[in-house]
Structure 1
Amino acid sequence: MLKVNVQPVDTAEILKKVRQIEIKTKGLSNHIFAGEYHSAFKGRGMSFSEVRDYQVGDDVRAIDWNVTARLNHPFIKVFEEERELTVMLLVDVSESSLFGTVRQNKRSMMTELCAVLAFSAIKNNDKVGVIFFSDGMEKYIPPKKGKSHILFIIRELLSFTPTRKGTNIRETLRFFNNATKKKSIVFMLSDFLTGDYQDALNIAAKRHDVVGVHVYDQRDKELPPVGLIQMQDSETGARQWVDASDKQVQQYYTQSFQQHVQYCRNSFKKSGADLISIRTDEDYVKALRGFFTNR
């Protein structure tokens, strides 16, 4: 994989970016995704809210006979959905997440996606927590409500530096499965350029509502025909000279990417979990909207 060097960002720049992301993603959550998110993820059940006068057409099975007898007038019980849920964002912060060649790198795309999902969640009174992972668990932010909590999450996504470079989805899911007993909505955001996580995903999908968000760059998929170049694996550091114009090299590069994608698709399908695929130069609004609408 080609390596993109990312310079450290100072505090003032981080705060500026947090504000920019807040303005963009909070607006999307308020005006586009809040209702669709609510419809896509149901609460734990129905709870009693109040009684009101019976009206023609109401279900007679919902009549509160005690209140009706006491007041000598028909009253009906009103129930509302118990909405409070826990949303966990499992975010890949490995070295490959810093790769990007067009509009933005994968980490930037994942940060915006997390912000949209988080603002949509708190709009519906849900808690949001985060796990940053590389080839192990890097950071855990417990689920909480509130705008200040979401802004803290965004700030951490923009500034966090992992201690390791690799990616291990299996161990991350195992940690999550052991740490989280209460059923949650789980969004796992990664380029999924690794394998061997089917069993851990199966367990997570049985306990939780799991959605994979596959974020990739066009150059993860296709090697540009630019002649002899030195490539470096961003996670292992291994370097190799390759002829990027060679058709066999291009084919091998594309096939390697497609194998990872196919494993990812098969794994999520077998586990019963959902999967969204978004390229860094594509409009993620369209992809998320399609996902929410189809659930």
Structure 2
Amino acid sequence: MTETTDILKRVRQIEIKTRGLSNNIFAGEYHSAFKGRGMMFSEVREYQYGDDIRNIDWNVTARFHHPYVKVFEEERELTVMLLIDVSGSREFGTTWRFKKNVITEMAAVLAFSAIQNNDKIGVIFFSDHIEKFIPPKKGRKHILYIIRELIGFKPESRGTNISEALRYLTNAIRKRCTAFIISDFMDDNFEDSLKIANHKHDVVALRVYDPRETEIPNIGFVKLKDAETGNYTWINTANKKTREAYKEWWRKNEQRLQNAFSKSGVDNVAVPTNEDYVKALISLFKKRA
């Protein structure tokens, strides 16, 4: 009962914070950054100088012996999917927030921003397999259910398979959608799946990392645990070559990820746990707009 009460309390706290952000900051940015699925017919009006002749309605033109054009407007309603990484590596943080806390808040902000624009929102929780699928719907009740799951969901596995999540998205969502994949991207060999998914949908990558993951401090011998496999290993951080080798691995991994996003045509942003994710999201939205 205590755990349930605590989850509901956190749901309320996150709702207040993230709904305020989406109302006051993201509303306009989100609307302009994520367009509708296409253009839908609105009306027919008389041809005006400068109109595209490809939009002439020849049936109406023949009837009234005067050129008329079809007018289209953007089809605003979107389906938004959140692909949430629930693997073991998200349970890491050396500042005042774990990666999973940042992932939860960003997902909630995007969910409220979507619902303000009358968009449907759905979620795919993934580890090294699909843990849970929440079909896209509208409504505040649906949003609060999503936030409860973001906070309280307990995965069966601790591994990561981004390709599996992307394949599931491609197969489960038939019509084009905007898909945010929120992960630390501690995985390999997902580039092909990313290309395929982004060809069908509009995929956006939000990568969350902790600053301590970028380099190893000199603190002597330490026992490290792999959050996903559970394996332990001892490392001598006093060894300069060890620290430099890890730093070089991180640099190459960063380059590998950027190449994967670039080749797949996927917009992306990196969000460290010790900085405000609001600036990163606004920067991404403005870039897309």
- Asked if Structure 1 and Structure 2 have the same fold, meaning a TM-score greater than 0.5 normalized by the shorter chain, the answer is yes
Q: 1:137 aligns with which of 130, 142, 146?
A: 130
The letter of the residue matching 1:250 is R
Structure 2: segments with no counterpart, 5+ residues: none
Question: What SS class does the counterpart of residue 146 from structure 2 fall into?
Answer: helix
Look up the match of 1:4.
none
**Aligned AA (1:104):** R
Q: Are positions 1:39 and 2:32 aligned together?
A: yes
Task: Please state how far the C-alpha of 1:50 moved relative to its aligned partner.
Answer: 6.7
Aligned to 2:270: 277
Mapped partners of 1:98, 1:109: distance in 2: 11
**Shift in alpha-carbon separation, 1:15–1:222, aligned structure 2, 3 A:** same
Q: Which residue of 2 aligns with 1:17?
A: 10
* Secondary structure, aligned partner of 1:188: strand
Q: What's 1:216 paired with?
A: 209
Q: CA deviation at 1:227?
A: 1.4
For 1:173 and 1:46, locate their aligned partners in 2 and report how far apart those are by CA, in whole Å.
27
**Alpha-carbon contact 1:177-1:204 (below 8 Å) kept:** yes
Please show how residues 1-295 of structure 1 align to structure 2 within 5 Å.
10-49=3-42, 80-295=73-288
- Cα distance in structure 1, aligned partners of 2:182 and 2:275: 16
State how far apart, in whole Å, the 2-side matches of 1:118 and 1:279 are. 21
Please report how far the alpha carbon of residue 149 of structure 1 lies from its aligned counterpart in structure 2 after TM superposition.
Answer: 0.9
Instruction: Answer whether contact 2:92 2:99 (CA < 8 A) is retained.
Output: yes
Deviation at 1:288, TM superposition (A): 0.7
Offset of 1:48 from its aligned partner? 4.7
Give 1:13 shift. Answer: 1.1
Counterparts in 2 of 1:257 and 1:32: CA distance versus 1, 3 Å: same
Q: TM-score, normalised by structure 2?
A: 0.88
CA offset digits 1:211-241 (Å, max 9, x no partner):
1111000111122222111111111111111
Contact 1:169–1:197 (Cα < 8 Å) also in 2 = yes
Contact residue 193 and residue 257 of structure 1 kept, 8 A? no
User: Which letter does structure 1 place at the counterpart of 2:139?
Assistant: G
Aligned length: 280
Q: Which amino acid aligns with 2:184?
A: D
CA shift for structure 1 position 142: 0.4
Residue by residue over 1:89-138, the C-alpha shift from the partner in whole angstroms, topping out at 9 and shown as x without a partner, is 00100000111110211111000000111111111111010001111111
> 1:50 and 1:177 mapped to 2: Cα distance?
34
Task: Tell me if structure 1 keeps the 8 A contact 2:39–2:72.
Answer: yes
Give the counterpart letter for 1:260 in structure 2: N
Separation (CA, whole Å) in 1 of partners of 2:171 and 2:158? 23
Secondary structure of the structure 2 residue equivalent to 1:125: coil
SS in structure 2 of the partner of residue 46 of structure 1? strand
- Using the TM superposition, give the Cα deviation of residue 78 of structure 1 relative to its aligned residue in structure 2, in angstroms: 6.9
Amino acid at match of 1:95: G
Distance 1:18 1:58 in 2: 52
Structure 1 SS opposite 2:169: helix
Amino acid in the other structure paired with 2:7: I
Aligned-pair distance for 1:180? 2.0
How far off its partner does 1:60 sit? Answer: 11
User: What TM-score does the superposition give when structure 1 sets the normalisation length?
Assistant: 0.87
For residues 180 and 94 of structure 1, the distance between their equivalents in structure 2, rounded to whole angstroms, comes to 23
- Give the root-mean-square deviation of aligned CA atoms: 2.6
